[in-house]
Structure 1
Amino acid sequence: MPWTKKDYPESMKNLDTRVRNKAVEIANALLDEGYEEGRAIAIGTAKAEEWDKNHPSSS
């Protein structure tokens, strides 16, 4: 089941909005590649946090 900005896994609720949105994007891409949900969530979250560190917001 793909997730959205308003409907995302419970484990992502405490992430900053910017990181959560990226995690959802990554996790959905992993689902499309055939990953199971739990693994997609874990990888998506880790990669989004890494992405955030390497791409600071411009605000």
Structure 2
Amino acid sequence: MHWMFEDFKTDLDSLNRTVRKKALEIANELMIQGKCTEKEAITEAIKQAEEWFYDLEG
């Protein structure tokens, strides 16, 4: 199942396009694993995606 996270649109809209895409990928994976709620998944995914992006940028 592909989660859309519509309730968190404003949280996602403030992100760089690349970070937003990665955050959605991570959040979807977390939801598939069933380890957290949507809110927890998107919060953790945004954090991980931002870290990924900063590591990517060097």
**Same fold, TM exceeding 0.5?**
yes
Q: How many percent identity over aligned positions? A: 33
Alpha-carbon separation, structure 1, partners of 2:16 and 2:7: 13
Alpha-carbon separation, structure 2, partners of 1:27 and 1:20: 10
Q: How much does 1:8 deviate?
A: 7.9
Q: What is aligned with 1:40?
A: 41
Letter in 2 for 1:17: R
RMSD: 2.0
Structure 2 unmatched runs, 5+: none
- Where in structure 1 do 4 or more consecutive aligned residues deviate above 3 Å? none
What TM-score do the two structures reach when normalised by structure 2? 0.82
Q: Which has the higher contact order (CA 8 A, sep 6+)?
A: 2
**Going by fraction, where is helix more abundant, 1 or 2?**
2
Number of aligned residues:
54
Instruction: Tell me if 1:49 matches 2:50.
Output: yes
What TM-score do the two structures reach when normalised by structure 1? 0.80
Structure 1 unmatched runs, 5+: none
